[in-house]
Amino acid sequence: MKLKACLINSVLSLFAGSKMGKGKLQKFAEYNAMEHTFDAKDTHLKGQWNELVFKNNNPVVLELACGRGEYSVGLAALYPNKNFIGIDIKGARMWKGATQAIEQNLFHVAFLRIQIEMIEQYFEKDEVSEIWIIFPDPQPQESRIKKRLTSPRFLDLYRKIAKKDALVHLKTDSPLLYEYTKEIIAEQGLQIVEDCSNVSLLNPKPDFLQIQTYYEKLWLKEKRIIRFLKFSLNK
């Protein structure tokens, strides 16, 4: 904690008075100073998240490309018997969720600032029970298909850290990503557990789909259709 406090003081002193320092850089420094935030140096947590971070034996759930971390916090509020880790590369974004977790006394949510491609370095085999992917970049260009978070490349990566019965949840406004994911599910012989082509039409709507990120609220104002898939990671 002393090291983190030193870092935040140094950064804030360096950028004191500047607009940049009071915005993104200040958030980044504050994010780094929090006890429940981690980054690339924390490879020692691999296989020990429950023991060293959460101090319990509850299932570990990941939200990939979590952005501001609002969904991780929302899920943590709904499911106190699960541990949630939001993963993204931008600490200034995750500052929002990390701050909300503190304000709501949610001690079973943490954040990890790494590239998703690196997750095998931070989680042991069978350490992850569930994966959420909320409004990821659909990577619409043909040349970027491999970067889609539900592509075979990423599903293979998830299998290296997830339990055999792990489920993947995808929430998206992209019809392209939704249909693409269903194609991959079929190709790999996986099972679709839930398939909703328009979340707004659900009545009643499950609590976990009532959580709305900042951007989802904007997209709903634009009359975009929100889609949801839950599917098995293994045959």
Catalytic one of 137, 156, 195, 207: 137
**222 lies in the same domain as 136:** yes
The pair of three-digit structure tokens given for residue 180, joined into one six-digit string: 């693409």
104 with 16, same domain: the answer is no
pLDDT value of residue 85: 98
State yes or no: cis peptide before 204, omega within 30 of 0. yes
Based on the fold, state whether residues 83 and 197 are members of the same structural domain: yes
**Do 71 and 135 belong to one domain?**
yes
How far, CA to CA in Å, does 136 sit from each of 21, 69, 88? Answer: 28, 13, 11
- 51 and 11 within one domain: no
Considering the domain architecture, whether residues 114 and 22 belong to the same structural domain is answered as no
**For 17-35, what is the mean pLDDT?**
74
Same domain, 26 and 123: no
Q: Do residue 98 and residue 55 come from a single domain?
A: yes
- The mean pLDDT value for 25-30 works out to 88
The verdict on 52 and 25 lying in the same domain is: no
Whether 98 and 27 share a structural domain? no
| CA 152-210-195 angle, 5° bins | 40
85 and 114 part of one domain: yes
Q: pLDDT band for 24, please (50, 70, 90 cuts).
A: confident
CATH no. for residue 161? 3.40.50.150
DSSP 125: T
* Residue range of the domain that includes 190: 41-232
Q: How many domains are contained in the chain?
A: 2
Active-site annotation holds for 207:
no
Query: What is the rounded distance in angstroms from the CA atom of residue 17 to the CA atom of residue 11?
Result: 12
Angle, to 10 degrees, between the axis of helix 70-78 and the axis of helix 91-103? 30
> Using a CB cutoff of 8 Å and minimum separation of 24, what contacts does 52-56 make?
53/83, 53/110, 54/83, 54/107, 54/108, 54/110, 56/83, 56/108
Query: Alpha-carbon Rg of the chain, whole angstroms?
Result: 18
185 and 164 part of one domain: yes
Mean pLDDT confidence for 12-40: 72
175-203 residue pLDDT tens: 999 999 999 999 999 999 999 999 999 99
Overall pTM surpassing 0.85 (yes/no): yes
